[in-house]
Amino acid sequence: MEENNIVVTQQPGGICTAAGGTRKTVKLSRPWQTRIKINPETCPFEKPEEQEIVKTYDFGGVWMRLKNLYTPFPYHELIVPETCWDEERLRSLGGIVELVTALDIAVKVIEERSENKIIMGVHVGPLAGQNQGHLHYHLLSPDLAKDESPLLLGGRASEDEVHGYTQSNEHLTILESSGVKVVAGGHRVGQCFLVPKEPFAGITASGSLGESLSRVIDLYAERFRSTEGFAPDYMIGLMFREKKFRYGFYLPILNHWGTTEYFALFGEEPVILPWSHEVTVGHLQRNQ
């Protein structure tokens, strides 16, 4: 819907966004962004207690699966490298090799688990919710009810909406890999969806996802580097259902939410984007 040069779009999940008017350009100043605090001496993941360690893996470097001791979810583990990384390495998730390593571990775990739905997530930077400087991926089952209640669990509707959105908005495609397409969209500025070209699991998923995510992270780090010198803080979420990758998102923190954005969660107002997803795509693809 378009009115007075304001375009209102319904995003997957039912939340509407609005963009346009006088807000048409990318803003790169983020004076509120800070460095990631990394302190191995106080890090709880540097020397976890034995009862927290589920399993260790050696892929040329040691990784661990740890129990999350403080969680509301019935299943929740952390995938962490053995030691803290410096900030530059952390912001890129270690590059494609380390990213695929973490995904390989996740896929192995998912194939062993009995849960129908498992989410993998990671938060990079304090604005994205990272509360420990040590890199840690979350692997969890969000099912809080045994009866598959739509009120609590959502379900395939969200998956279908994301796939329908990406198919209807080919012009917002940011990049493609051998198995994954990345399309701008969502309720936050700069957000994009990752969808498989074909449902898959196993090493194929790890390789294709790792390639796509690494390219997205590097692209945003370059094009959305702030005037203060920071690559964006960001979060990544990946949905696995029936042991197959279904969809995911990359969400950079490029602005703050205000009052109307939280009213949008009640359906009162659309989320106001400081610039449109079309502008994001143009900014990412300029001079390419």
* Residue 75 lies inside a defined structural domain of this protein: yes
Residues for the chain: how many in total?
288
Residues 106-133 have a mean pLDDT of 95
Domain residues for the domain of 57 are 35-285
* Residue 101 lies inside a defined structural domain of this protein: yes
Answer yes or no: is pLDDT of 214 > 60: yes
CATH number of the domain bearing residue 118: 3.30.428
Answer yes or no: is pLDDT of 153 > 90: no
Measure the CA–CA gap between 28 and 43, rounded to whole angstroms.
32
* Residue 92 lies inside a defined structural domain of this protein: yes
| pLDDT interval class at 287 (50, 70, 90) | low
- Give the Cβ contact number of residue 65 at 10 Å: 20
* Residue 18 lies inside a defined structural domain of this protein: no
Q: What pLDDT sits at residue 79? A: 98
| pLDDT interval class at 152 (50, 70, 90) | very low
Instruction: Render pLDDT for 183-204 as a digit per residue (tens, 0 to 9).
Output: 999 999 999 999 998 876 665 6
pTM of the model: 0.93
- Quote the number of domains for the chain: 1
240 vs 145, higher pLDDT? 240
- Give the Cβ contact number of residue 104 at 10 Å: 19
Q: What pLDDT sits at residue 155? A: 57
* Residue 16 lies inside a defined structural domain of this protein: no
Contact 194, 217 (CB under 8 A): no
* Residue 3 lies inside a defined structural domain of this protein: no
174 vs 150, higher pLDDT? 174
Between the two ends of the chain, the Cα-to-Cα distance in Å is 31
Answer yes or no: is pLDDT of 236 > 60: yes
DSSP state of 83: S
